[in-house]
Chains A and B, each alone.
Chain A
């Protein structure tokens, strides 16, 4: 299985910390033939979408697009800024073809400064992922600022919820892959 963790914020620390905690847990249970890529938009120099074909990009834009297209399971980390997903993450979606997330299973980790932002992922992020044809795990992990301390997560509860997210995402991906494989074989070509 090809895994990608995409941390979607260009500033702040909490989305990075949350996705790094997810990465640490995921690494413990990878099989030898699994591949895991971790991309943090803070480390990348992304250009704004200008409508060009996804294959016509170079440098970090090409790297992010290729990593997304090559993955079967994607964990997306997003902060909530100004009651919205950040523009940096939306830009990544704007770079992709319309069917970019077809046959990909997505788990979400959301960091926010206020519990009142709980539905932003539900109302803004998931519709975009559905448009891009993703299979999205219905339950996501929503982490508020008080769950962090020092350079990481301070909450055992959140650690357990990240474990649950990994399992839910893997199970959904495996179930769908069985269905897709059966469908492909049914065509007879």
Chain B
């Protein structure tokens, strides 16, 4: 018996000893000496190479020539101003003076040129987006010539992959040298990055001494990290934990609408969806408010169009009447009749496959809601869930509708959305819609530099999309961040590009 007890005790003592060797005490001590902050996000980072990952900009290490503000308008950052005199083929950027890299090297047009050259060499995506033919540097003036007129060049230069770094610095993957308020102290791929303040930052001395950014894909684990005090700020805590977090007086929950839109794409290769009245029927079948309340647990807003209403290029959307009877009216216009509980045309019931994917759990829920509403008006929807949605949409044509989630204006410009979805050969033109009037407006948009004119064209394009119901915008899900009440000056940006700033502070 004694032997038994000693064996059990040994096991428990060993586990206890392992547990006791906690590393928390050291970090607490460090915290009291320095102004530090711990941030846990779901943004993965296997490299700090800014040309391949967003973390360098998010962590305040590097900056881009142009940035996007909270109204999603582009504004100067490392570049003081820019202009084009030939409709978007030649762009002249004036680089701010008096800026230094974190290793003391001065930032001039030559350094920016080398950095952008590296960008297009390392990133196929940026090479495609920037379309750079030639660059010339002269003092603080950088002249970029593009292969074709590119009215969106300043907006493309907002992309974190165009962040300016010192390309001559060693070990860009682990320790890039930028111009931001924080420099890399240590980096463990896919785990954490520690940054410390760069006192000589051109925008003024940062308030924090250091920030620890940890990556964790699991939302429950992130929530626990905040509750345990391991984290001061967590990005996207578990949605079901929001009410609990709100009840904790030491935690602040910040909720902001995102640029993301949960949408329905229609397949024009399917006979039924060639008819715009059929598309309109599904456009009004599902009430976005119900989707917000049910599938998003209240964390979102009804979408009236692809873009947030507050954006200048968002076209005026009319308030729609939703419901089965409204949907039925459109189906009748399309020649369908409801008979014996089935919506029929030429003796055939309206039925199709709806494809969805589990990565965003609200999408399968939204699909089920649509299926249930459709059943009420005699339409049969078969739901199929796939892992790789992009692949399915582009390689198969057996689907009638898909639920999809897309960031519609990632850099504060409508060009991406219309080119990707509705231009011939666009990577996201999965519905194979070809509207000549829309195509010509997008072509015009691509040539137009003046922002006011661009917004006007984008609104016109949006009106055609709306009139023809080429897709249905359902909801904008919210972004939410939770932080401890000792955190000061936190801003949840719509773009999600800027996270750690010089103004971020702790009490």
Tell whether A and B belong to one assembly.
no
